[in-house]
Chains A and B, each alone.
Chain A
Amino acid sequence: MALNVLALAQTRLGPIGQCQLIYISATQLKLIPRDGNLIKIGGQLYQIPAAGITITNASFGAAANSRIYFYASVSGGEVVLGAYTTAHTTDTTAGNVGTEIMSGDNTKSLVGMAYSNASGQFENSATRRLVRSWYNDPGVQFFNSVASSVSTTNTAWTELDAALRIQALGWAGEQFDVEFTCMCSNSGAGNTTYLMGWVDGGGFGQYGFMHAAANGYYTTISLPAGSIFGTDVVRTFSLAGQVGGGTGYFSNKMISGATLGR
């Protein structure tokens, strides 16, 4: 419901957008009140019910592998949630300046986004951070480790293990830090084994390498890196390796990282 001027004054408002879009299950997301319960839509303030507002993937027929924006709008005086593929922009209309809205429609205020999986469902796990809130988003932490061994004689970069992949959805301009770690070895003394972060199917950051002291002597290589999400996009993190000669052995592969906020 909309607030009158007196009620507005009484609330001693802080920043508007007192809500957070959270993951509930593979089929449900919810907009919940956070640090208050007000959201600005079309220049007016509205209250989000204490129980929150739930949206299901079935309610809008979520397509597979798609980026979906969630906007809050008003219907019958109540705040409702809708899912759209239309991108967002910052409103410059008097009374609503600075509110993030659906492009071309300031009756819809952005509250979050998700990237659907192959089944058209929502995901939020350490290896697949695919739901984000526009307001009160704490960022996401991601992690994956796979112990199994990979061996390669390839002298060109090759992705080591698809099972190690992490997918993280980020807002345009959001920063992230990530660390790629792996135990490396080589079949021949003096041979070089290389390791590099592999993001979105290509090399990422500086590579590392080890010279084998002897067959089977392992060295742990750890590569810190970071960048930003250029657009609202899913980035895929993995590891790649190659050798200068001999057979390179890789095991205990690990990726750990976090977004630092937009």
Chain B
Amino acid sequence: MIHYDLVQAIELIRPGAKFTLRGDDVSSLEWHDGNQTRPTDDEILSALQSLPKLVSPQDLMAQITEDDAALIQAYIADKPKAWLLWCAFNTQKDAMLTTNERFKAGWFTLQAIIGDTRMSQIAQSLGITVNP
């Protein structure tokens, strides 16, 4: 589905531009727009990196270590709201968009519990960037 990601990336950096993209090769981009300049291949690839990505709950759960789990259990023990959020995550079946507000709420709560270093490691393992 790289084709559709490339289309999204182009639309992200040149909103409303007129273009035609054929297949998965960014060099095939045909530019019809006289008002905006054609983005460079590097610009498009850079925009591609910032597109929202999907994360499956199973993949995220697989990153949690015993130490992480101990911190999480201690944190949610006396915080019903955090406990609810953790339960919601555990019952989530579909992949989650990293730009979704609910996902971000859970992500940054988890960051507060297990720390920046661990969350950076997890983000790197999953190949995602989560922006506030």
Contacts and interface: CB of A to CB of B under 8 A. Distances in A.
Interface residues of B, number: 15
B22 A150 contact: yes
A192 interface: no
Contacts of B23: 148-150
Contact of A161 (B11, B16, B22): B22
Q: Is the interface of A mostly helix, strand, loop or mixed?
A: loop
B11 A154 contact: no
A73 interface: no
Could you tell me the dominant secondary structure of chain B's interface residues? mixed
Nearest to B24: A148
A133 B11 CA distance: 51
A156 interface: yes
A148 B32 contact: no
Contacts, number: 42
Given A148-B23, A158-B30, A153 B3 contact: no
27 contacts: A148-B3, A148-B22, A148-B23, A148-B24, A149-B23, A151-B3, A151-B4, A151-B7, A151-B20, A151-B21, A152-B18, A152-B19, A152-B20, A152-B21, A153-B16, A153-B18, A153-B32, A154-B20, A154-B32, A155-B18, A156-B32, A158-B20, A158-B30, A160-B20, A160-B22, A161-B22, A247-B7
Interface of B: 3-4, 7, 11, 16-24, 30, 32
